[in-house]
Structure 1
Amino acid sequence: MKKFFACLLVLAIIVTIVPINIASAETGGYYATGNYRNVFVETGRTEAQVQDKMNTMFDKFFKGDTNNQRLFYETGTDEAYIRDTGNGDVRSEGMSYGMMVCVQMDKKKEFDMLWKWARNHMYQTSGQFKGFFAWQCNYDGGIIDSTPASDGDEYFAMALLFAARRWGNGTGIYNYEAEAQTILDAMLHQSDDGVGYNMINKNANQVVFCPSAGNYDFTDPSYHLPAFYELWAMWGPERDRATWSKVAATSREFLKKSTHPTTGLNPDYANFDGSAKEVSWSSGHGDFRFDAWRVIQNSCVDYAWWQKDSWPATTFAPKIQAFFKNQGLSTYGNQYTLSGSKLSSDHSPGLVAMNAVSALASDATTAKPFVDELWNTAVPSGQYRYYDGMLYMLGMLNVSGNFKIWGAPTEPSVTRGDINDDGTIDSVDFALLKSYLLGRTTTLPNMKAADLNGDGVVDAMDWAVLRQYLLGIIKTL
């Protein structure tokens, strides 16, 4: 059929086509528009290639070789945990990240298995940490350290809220909505009975390093998740919604203050005023080290979802990209002083993934070297695959447009005919469709937009509709 219409296409292409301007693409973040960028496709890959890459990634981490690839380990018939293969333990960070990966990739079985393990073995119902999750356990579920790590609880709550909206609620611990609301309530009210500490410092309106004595008065910049807080201001317990809105705004300002003005680097730990924080039990956390990698993702995802502050796009992402580009895209180290002196020459896949997420606050051309670097980075394997691997999965989801706000009011919108997503239906779109129908290309920037008659297939019938529209024979698509 393609050959039959090739001659017609060639004849039609010589017709003078006047570009027809349509309304500009919707402005605002993903929550408002429902349009998720697939930056891999924007920078030259096909939808099929991206999906294959995502499937391969999931299979290796969840079904792969036990000793060299897998991070997901089943125990019993209906529980599973994410293993920190480098340290030989299970962490709330990895469990909650794993759940987020599963809800984004529509893996309900694996999600439920992780959640049951976390709820049965990590969740604490009494004492100073009641309502929170122990950050570190043995493989058999025994608690090694009962202190909560705030980012784990944050990701648990967000993953559960998405699960409720994507799959619906079950009963007991599988009433995802109720479980999430309980976690959110504890974050702000755990200490109301005079025992313990909240996960959000009431005076600073910022997430704390740990809700415990000595750790309640400073923070970890990578725990700041304003993109999540905005959703909790709408979906969380009603009495706390105004507070979560304040926390989101405060976090955005904090991230600016904690970022080095030249390099764009953040410290691992910081005081609430943004200044770097050193601690007595471990050295070097006033520098850009492993925790700090995640600030890149947190800032740029917040911009992509909400666009409430232009700083990530105008200032932060350009600085981060410039710094690491100057360090050598394939050779930059994984730890630096805030002013940019290299502390380690290791080139880590986790940091590669976080740098690629800066594309969400950047144009595709500028971000392409970082996106290419992630695309060309192998799925982490070996003994120390855990942290790199978890960030690799999150980075891949974000860059491919698969880290979505389940429960947002809008579905991804499609402007029929605007095949290259530039806001105009014109001869460029016509030429792209021609190339696809002639077999010269295997995909299109926006396949849904190319399906002009909405029959689920991109074929010569769509070419005929587009031709009639551009010639003015029909007025709408």
Structure 2
Amino acid sequence: MGRAPAAASPVSGGAGAALGGVPQAGAAPSAALLAGWGRFRQDFLRPEGRVVDTGNQNVSHSEGQGWAMFCAERAADRASFELAWGWTRRWLTRPQDRLAAWRYIPDQGDSVPDRNNATDGDLFIAAALLLAGRRWQQPGFTEAGAAIARDILRLLLRQVAGSTLLLPAQHGFETADSVTVNPSYYAFPILGVLARAVPDPAWLALAGDGLQLLRRARFGRWGLPPDWLSVARADGALSLPGRWPPRFSYDAVRVPLYLCWAGLADEPAALATARFWSDPAHRQWPAWVDLATDRIGPYAATPGLRGLAGYVLEQLGQVPPTRPAASFAPDDYYSSVLRLLTLTALSEKA
């Protein structure tokens, strides 16, 4: 599949469906989630509350802090939640708004040299705070989460060719001709948490247009969503930006996870990834595929990605039930994140 066509008119009925799968406030965690969170906490959450990316020189990201805060709340682990939130608030605060700086680099004079944000981190931090405020009856958490949600609406949404888009960050993703988006940032259950706490029609537009975007943003032999996507301002035409490798890989694998979590397993992007992962021509589950050439990555998917893929296939009834292990051997940070998010999605349906 080559360059995608311009957008059709959004289907209004899809907007509400795209906000499905919202995590239940105060839900009791499953045993599998508790075990998985315990291992993640042991391996990646430092005593001061910093989540370390062991595969990337032990830096920390706002997304990692957000994922940890969210999973700590889902595991009803208030002590770890407050540790991660306290560190995030201390080190990643931006003076001009309530969004978080995207990266912390240890062992250097200025540990946060770039104060640009990462929108997926802001989404998960906000949702974690909102859920924590309800679980533990803490208005301060709720107020902080709502303030972040309002700044997401204020600073990170753009109107392009009649559609509402979500910027990956406040700066660096817009040109005169196009806007670049990251399809994996459309975490529909998380958008639902924010929409319930801070009611605004913009959430519905963002979710509905995001679902339409994912229906169109499919490339290569298998029709897969890309890690990064360029949207033309003039007509909404989609293409693969040259700034990144044109791949379905570490970012885009979260697209089918969020769709299935939201109860949207029959969406084209989820069906396409299931076909790709179950293709009998693969000698192993590949870590990535080049969407311009259909070249398969030379190494196998990580355990976390295999667990995520098994969950997606299970939701479509294509394989016998496959569940990611809760107790697992040491793994790197991102693979462990994927496994933990998959356990969270499973826990919501338990």
Taking structure 2 as the reference length, what is the TM-score of the superposition? 0.80
1:319 aligned partner: 272
Closer, same or farther: CA 114–328 of 1 in aligned 2, 3 Å: farther
What is the letter of the counterpart of residue 71 of structure 1?
F
1:269 aligned partner: 228
What is the letter of the counterpart of residue 74 of structure 1?
P
CA distance in 1, matches of 2:22, 2:164: 24
What is the letter of the counterpart of residue 330 of structure 2?
S
Q: Which protein shows a greater Rg? A: 1
Q: Which of 71, 75, 81 is 1:101 aligned to?
A: 71
Q: Which of 123, 143, 151 is 1:186 aligned to?
A: 151
Q: Provide, for residues 264-306 of structure 1, a one-character-per-residue CA deviation record: whole Å limited to 9, x for no partner.
A: 42111002347343244xx41x211211111111211122xxx
2:251 aligned partner: 291
1:117 aligned partner: 87
1:345 positional shift? 1.9
| Structure with the largest fraction of helix | 1
CA distance in 2, matches of 1:316, 1:73: 36
| Structure 2 unmatched runs, 5+ | 1-18
2:207 aligned partner: 248
1:137 aligned partner: 104
Q: How many residues align?
A: 317
1:389 aligned partner: 336
Q: Provide, for residues 222-258 of structure 1, a one-character-per-residue CA deviation record: whole Å limited to 9, x for no partner.
A: 011233333433321x4xx111111111111111111
Q: Provide, for residues 368-387 of structure 1, a one-character-per-residue CA deviation record: whole Å limited to 9, x for no partner.
A: 36x25x34x973525xx111
1:353 aligned partner: 307
Q: Provide, for residues 345-367 of structure 1, a one-character-per-residue CA deviation record: whole Å limited to 9, x for no partner.
A: 2221232132133257424xx24
2:290 aligned partner: 337
Closer, same or farther: CA 234–121 of 1 in aligned 2, 3 Å: same
CA distance in 2, matches of 1:97, 1:235: 19
Deviates more, 1:349-358 or 1:323-332: 323-332
- Contact 2:220–2:294 (8 Å) recurs in 1: no
Residue 169 (structure 1) aligned with residue 138 (structure 2) = yes
What is the letter of the counterpart of residue 82 of structure 2?
D
CA distance in 2, matches of 1:328, 1:134: 42
Q: Provide, for residues 67-101 of structure 1, a one-character-per-residue CA deviation record: whole Å limited to 9, x for no partner.
A: xxx101012xxxx1110112121111111000111
1:315 positional shift? 3.8
2:320 aligned partner: 368
Residue 211 (structure 1) aligned with residue 170 (structure 2) = yes
- Contact 2:173–2:181 (8 Å) recurs in 1: no
| 1:71-110 paired onto structure 2 within 5 Å | 71-75=44-48, 80-87=49-56, 88-110=58-80
Taking only the aligned residue pairs, the percentage that are identical comes to: 19
- Contact 1:229–1:245 (8 Å) recurs in 2: no
Closer, same or farther: CA 118–208 of 1 in aligned 2, 3 Å: same
Closer, same or farther: CA 337–378 of 1 in aligned 2, 3 Å: farther
CA distance in 2, matches of 1:287, 1:112: 36
2:14 aligned partner: none
Deviates more, 1:130-139 or 1:256-265: 256-265
1:301 aligned partner: 261
Q: Which of 32, 38, 41 is 1:62 aligned to?
A: 41
SS at match of 1:179: helix
CA distance in 2, matches of 1:30, 1:145: 34
CA distance in 2, matches of 1:82, 1:209: 21
1:54 positional shift? 3.7
Taking structure 1 as the reference length, what is the TM-score of the superposition? 0.60
Q: Report the aligned-residue RMSD.
A: 3.1
Q: Provide, for residues 178-222 of structure 1, a one-character-per-residue CA deviation record: whole Å limited to 9, x for no partner.
A: 101111111122xxxxxxxx2121444111122114447210000
SS at match of 2:50: strand
